[in-house]
Amino acid sequence: MTSGPGDVLQLIRRAEANTRRDIQQLTGLSRMTVAQRVDALMDAGLVIEDAGAGGATGGRRPDRLSFHVDRSVLAVATVDTAHSRTALTDLSGRIIASDAVDVAISEGPERVLDALAASMRRLVDEASSGRPLVGTGISVPGPIDPSTRRPSQPPIMPGWDAYPIAEHLAEVIPVPTFVENDADAMAFGEQSTHFPGSNAVCLIKVSTGIGAGLVINGSVYHGIDGGAGDIGHIRLAGETAICQCGSRGCLAAVASGRAVAVKLDELGIPAGSGRDVGRLLQAGNVDALSLTHEAGRRIGEVMATVVSMINPGVLVVSGDLASNELLGGLRETLYPRSLPRATRNLDIRLGELGEQAGPIGMARIVTDALYSADAINHRLAA
């Protein structure tokens, strides 16, 4: 078995090993080799040792090893149709500072990315306390091609198809950059924070559009072409509403925040986006509540198929429309349309992290990529 320093770091990062003795037991490496690995990780500033803080096993407490999460910082951005956010985090995904960037995705990639980069640099200047920025991450509301990491025919991102997001950002902020689908980043944020023990977590984001993310065995599942979870454009029988993607009768054309906003407008209640609908829900607007409940019912019809296919342990409902009304509607159609086995142990719930799910998940995706076993073995062998 080969257990390089990168493999040892993974054990420490996942808290599977907290002491040198744990590492010896888990890897089968000799005490001497473990010491060399830990020394290399400490010399590189990746691991810190807290004297006498390890688990008590009688006698002297061993020194506790942990990933040095506040040695460096990450800057992440979560792009949405009208409102984007940036955040500065430590390597555990803890948010140090954040900022709102009101730039519409329809303004195109150059303007949006330049506005986000300016905000990220400001956060680094103001809140990094001199710690080095080692990576950036950006999530966008569209499918990402797994091989190029560029948007792949995103239905609601005009001008972004195949755009080199990472290259553009890295030109302005020269550190490694990672690009992810927004629902995937949110799913990873919720799963890694609240359901690390669940092997299958699904998150559905209902904001201006609709998307879903899947975390299987602790990793985001993208599908062969990055299309996994892109359920907003499944066409519903008997529906004819025109969708932003150009088709008719898509789930997003019927049950998204945009669809609810259009129906509210028709009732004389001004609403332009999913966020506006979210505000009306919080204010207890009766029409917004009943339309969101109905949207939940339509989403539940589609999610019954998803749940029957994946049999997840947790289904997290997130986004601007996430509310008890949406959840109630979803349950009304999902349960009767699924076999009891598919839902027997299914926990359907609202997201715990709210709008922090995206930044936290994105930061952890960047950390996982920068500090993977392979990356560290390669770096420390050089």
Site residues, Zn ion (CB under 5 A) = 233, 243, 245, 247, 250
Nearest distance from C-beta of residue 180 to Zn ion, angstroms: 21
Nearest distance from C-beta of residue 315 to Zn ion, angstroms: 22
| Contacts of 89 by beta carbon, 8 Å cutoff, 6+ apart | 73, 74, 75, 76, 95, 96, 359, 360, 363
Nearer to Zn ion, 253 or 334 (CB): 253
Nearer to Zn ion, 250 or 346 (CB): 250
Nearer to Zn ion, 26 or 234 (CB): 234
Nearest distance from C-beta of residue 234 to Zn ion, angstroms: 9
Nearer to Zn ion, 250 or 307 (CB): 250
Nearest distance from C-beta of residue 154 to Zn ion, angstroms: 11
**Distance from C-alpha of 18 to C-alpha of 378, rounded to nearest angstrom:** 23
Nearest distance from C-beta of residue 106 to Zn ion, angstroms: 16
Instruction: Report whether 203 contacts 150 (CB < 8 A).
Output: no
Nearer to Zn ion, 133 or 228 (CB): 228
Nearer to Zn ion, 120 or 253 (CB): 253
Residue 131 to residues 77, 98, 217, 221, 225: CA-CA distances in angstroms? 19, 16, 33, 32, 37
Residue 255 to residues 21, 208, 243: CA-CA distances in angstroms? 54, 10, 11
Nearer to Zn ion, 66 or 247 (CB): 247
**Distance from C-alpha of 346 to C-alpha of 285, rounded to nearest angstrom:** 30
Nearer to Zn ion, 93 or 226 (CB): 226
Residue 234 tokens read as: 């499944």
30 DSSP assignment: -
**Distance from C-alpha of 180 to C-alpha of 146, rounded to nearest angstrom:** 9
* CA-based nearest residue to 165, from 237, 114, 241, 211: 114
Helix (H, G, I), strand (E, B) or coil at 149: coil
**Distance from C-alpha of 377 to C-alpha of 362, rounded to nearest angstrom:** 23
H-assigned helices in the chain:
5-13, 20-27, 31-43, 109-127, 165-172, 182-194, 251-255, 257-266, 274-282, 286-310, 324-334, 340-343, 357-370, 373-381
**Distance from C-alpha of 211 to C-alpha of 360, rounded to nearest angstrom:** 18
Nearest distance from C-beta of residue 338 to Zn ion, angstroms: 24
